[in-house]
Amino acid sequence: MLIGSDKMIAIVGLGLTGLSYARYLEAKGIAFVVMDTRKQPPMLNQFEEEFADSAYLRAVHLGGLHQENLMAASEILLSPGFPMADSALQAAIDAGIKVHGDMSLFAEQCEGDIVAITGSNAKSTVTAWLAHMAEKAAIDFAVGGNIGTAVLSLLEQPKKSLYILELSSFQLEATPQLNAKVATILNVSADHQDRYEGMAAYHQAKQKVYRGAQNIVFNRHDPLTQALMAQGVSAISFGLNEPDLGQYGVRLRDGVEYLAKGLDLLLPAASLSLPGQHNVQNALAALALGEAAGLPLDAMLAALQDFSGLPHRCEFVATVAGVDFINDSKGTNTGASIAALEGLGPKQKLVLIAGGVGKGANFDELRTAVEKYCRALVCIGEDAAKIAAALEGSVADITFADDMPFAVKEAFRLAQVGDAVLLSPACASFDMFASFEARGQAFKDAVQEVSHD
């Protein structure tokens, strides 16, 4: 808990989270300083407008961290984009100064139950699907974290009985103890290797979601999702194979695939509102989380059948001359793109548009799925050549495009009737676009252009 108002708090990072810190401290009457390594952080103008006359703002340092103010702080509130491994922060930690983040503050003060969802891929879809289940069950809930509302802003709203939170590894780095009612790591695949020294460090950050959890949900196909230390904690698994008693999985009955818990058949997989085997797994994860959170089964099953999904996650855009166009711009790492290929590929051949900023990814990981499901590949962005080199020989055609309109036209040219053009970049977007949302919108706009040609 933050110490008294005679102390000074250092806010590191002035993005959305940094702005929420400043608002929180101002409301509490606690003095603070703000610093960012960027000279023009994204929320600077809004911050200057809101805090021009603040009685509690002591200083703003841009273009670098102010070591003296860091070491003078009683606590440091860290924004997710700033790595805990920074030498200035480590010096503060060595001096006994607490460095933590917004999830840590939220967990200390939250009076409702927390469902904490992390993973390399699918966490937004599972979070939103679970929220739809809670809505169907008429539960008093809120959604936030890495999706939707910043968690400190949730504390300003009327209290809820259930908080469904999507958490990134960056947020978890600065969360010593979450104490969630239910916590899950949906999957772990290589991501953010430009920030972490290796997979072990990334995995360690994800594991923090389990600290203090009452119930754990894990993916039995992925050993890295299992809690390293969880003695005496309730655990439920999900997966695409036949489940043991009390676990979630898939069973075949008379040639029909069903979502199942143990021996009990719950719902035909074909009844799910979202297509693809990856969404069967997402639905199973949401069911396991919902059960652990106390949601009624009838509401959860109803929600599985009418959830409309999230934009930019295997989002159907249009069919043009017999070719489907699917926007998976949120596929920002190889694991996400593999899931999209494996989820959609069994139904139709794919022409994949991939590329952007790879974040140190190993694109060789895509080869098996591309060879199996893709007809052709169109490479874009900063790491286009790396992707093409890694996947050379995996498909008959590999081409390049300098912008999204040309990429879509090339993919359409290479596709055959019955195929799908899939944007699933396996990369971040910030070489060409402001965000993955902007990239997805550019894809949709380009599809509209093709449809009118």
Which tokens in the block code for residue 422?
């899939």
Residue 255 is predicted with a pLDDT of: 95
Counting Cα atoms < 13 Å in the Cβ hemisphere of 109 gives: 16
Give helix then strand counts, H and E, for the chain.
Answer: 16, 20
Strands 264-268 and 256-261: antiparallel
Residue 1 is predicted with a pLDDT of: 45
3-state secondary structure of 259: strand
pLDDT in tens, 101-114: 999 999 999 999 99
Question: What's 429's DSSP letter?
Answer: S
pLDDT in tens, 213-222: 999 999 999 9
Q: Which residues contact 272 (CB under 8 A, 6 or more apart)?
A: 259, 279, 280, 283, 304, 305
Question: The domain 105-306 belongs to what CATH superfamily?
Answer: Mur-like, catalytic domain (3.40.1190.10)
Residue 83 is predicted with a pLDDT of: 87
pTM, entire model: 0.86
Residues 447, 408 contacting (CB under 8 angstroms): yes
Residue 4 is predicted with a pLDDT of: 44
Q: Where are the domains of the chain?
A: 8-100, 105-306, 315-452
Radius of gyration (C-alpha) of the chain in whole angstroms: 23
Q: Which portions of the chain are predicted below pLDDT 50?
A: 1-5
User: What is the widest separation between alpha-carbon atoms in the chain?
Assistant: 70
The strand pairing partners of 267, in sequence order, are 259
Residues 220, 237 contacting (CB under 8 angstroms): yes
CA dist 323 and 295 (Å) reads 40
Residues 86, 37 contacting (CB under 8 angstroms): no
pLDDT in tens, 136-191: 999 999 999 988 888 998 998 999 999 999 999 989 999 999 999 999 999 998 66
Enter the CATH code of domain 315-452. 3.90.190.20
**Dihedral (CA of 160, 161, 164, 165) sign:** positive
Burial tier of 298 (Cβ tally within 10 Å: 0-12, 13-18, 19+):
exposed
Which tokens in the block code for residue 232?
């005496």
**Would you please indicate which residues are annotated as catalytic (active-site) residues?**
123, 146, 192
Residues 192, 201 contacting (CB under 8 angstroms): no
Question: The domain 8-100 belongs to what CATH superfamily?
Answer: NAD(P)-binding Rossmann-like Domain (3.40.50.720)
Residues 338, 281 contacting (CB under 8 angstroms): no
Which tokens in the block code for residue 173?
């780095």
Mean pLDDT score of the chain: 94
